Amino acid sequence: MFEPILVFFIVLAVLVLAHEFGHFFAAKKYGVRVEEFGFGFPPRLFSFKKGETLYSFNLFPLGGFVKILGENGEDSDDPGNFASRPAFQKAVMLSAGVFFNLVLAVIIFSFVLWLGLPVDADDTMWKDKVEAAAITVVGVVKDSAAERAGIKLGDKMLGFGEIGQVQEFIKNNLGKDIIFEVERGSERITLPASLPSSEIEEGVVFGIAMARLGIVREPWYKAPLGGVRLTASAFWGTIKGLWRILGLLFSGNSVLGMVSGPVGIFSIVSTTLDFGAVFLLSLVAVLSVNLAVMNLLPLPALDGGRLLFLAIEKIRGRPIPQRTGGLAHAFGFAILILLMAVITYYDVKTGF
């Protein structure tokens, strides 16, 4: 249990630090003073100061922040102040976190493509590029015949070319003792299994979810282009998924099962560990894209909300009152924390 927890916090740290480093880098580039670079949310556990910036580590490691001088509109005459900068520079500083999350995704996807990226072998995006396609176990139902037989996530079902063949084999042998040969890592393992008639009557067939997975590899000089393509595909896919969730919300439907908070993400990371490092790296890239898209939402307290306020200021020709902006962002932050708490409660209630 310790390993998944450690990996989860490493993944979280990479995502948060990449995002916040984007804001930090852009502010430093324009000569704007960064007062604090924090990992996690207060209360503060410990900190150290280097130059003009305080680097802090806080109790709740579910995010991070960069505190930039004047980001709320105060002391606009100081040349090292965010508020004194032209709108374009402000927009760059506000969007730099999103940009760095996308850059991180491109880097990881490129590296994984060079190593060998597991993909859906039937996806037309990878036509004629897939190697070693195999029926792979991607889910095992708890207390099922498959779990009792010892089948694990990532096992390759040998002797079958299509998922339908596995399903037909199981259907034709219901109530009998059956044998599966699987490839697990570099080993070939024979697993006897049986399906009691009581489970047949209850409608339980075997208890596995499968996908036809293969490997796509690109030479190092082509991998970056593939990384950009994968990042763009994940970005667009996240936007479409978010649009669907918003549509369900406005139609009065529940979407709690479609979104995950920290607990749900921990569960996904734990499961991905069973598939190996390449799957985990791919997950980090996808999460980085998700984080970029979420931060672009035009909601107070998010980067997108601050960009929206900046656009309003540009249109109005004068700044939004500091008190109004501060209250809006504080309210937005409170709503986000409440939403995270609700999603986390649902994740725990449903067993992740």
In this structure, is residue 101 part of a structural domain?
Answer: yes
When mean pLDDT is compared across 197-201, 298-302, 347-351, the lowest value belongs to 197-201
How many domains does the chain fold into? 2
Residues 6+ apart with CB under 8 A from 141: 147, 204, 207, 208
Regarding whether 111 and 13 lie in a shared domain, the answer is yes
Regarding whether 100 and 14 lie in a shared domain, the answer is yes
> Which of 24-28, 63-67, 256-260, 336-340 tops mean pLDDT?
24-28
Is the pTM above the cut of 0.75? yes
Regarding whether 136 and 94 lie in a shared domain, the answer is no
In this structure, is residue 84 part of a structural domain?
Answer: yes
In this structure, is residue 160 part of a structural domain?
Answer: yes
In this structure, is residue 107 part of a structural domain?
Answer: yes
> What's 144's domain CATH number?
2.30.42.10
Please calculate the CA angle 312-15-59 and round it to the nearest 5 degrees.
95
In this structure, is residue 27 part of a structural domain?
Answer: yes
Residue-wise pLDDT tens digits, 313-347? 888 888 777 777 778 877 777 777 777 777 666 66
Regarding whether 88 and 140 lie in a shared domain, the answer is no
Residues 6+ apart with CB under 8 A from 76: 70, 83, 84
In this structure, is residue 235 part of a structural domain?
Answer: no
Regarding whether 148 and 173 lie in a shared domain, the answer is yes
Regarding whether 97 and 9 lie in a shared domain, the answer is yes
In this structure, is residue 87 part of a structural domain?
Answer: yes
Regarding whether 156 and 65 lie in a shared domain, the answer is no
In this structure, is residue 33 part of a structural domain?
Answer: yes
Regarding whether 111 and 45 lie in a shared domain, the answer is yes
Residue-wise pLDDT tens digits, 7-31? 888 888 899 899 999 999 999 999 9
173: containing domain: 131-216
- Nearest one of 350, 114, 110, 141 to 232, comparing CA atoms: 110
Regarding whether 149 and 105 lie in a shared domain, the answer is no
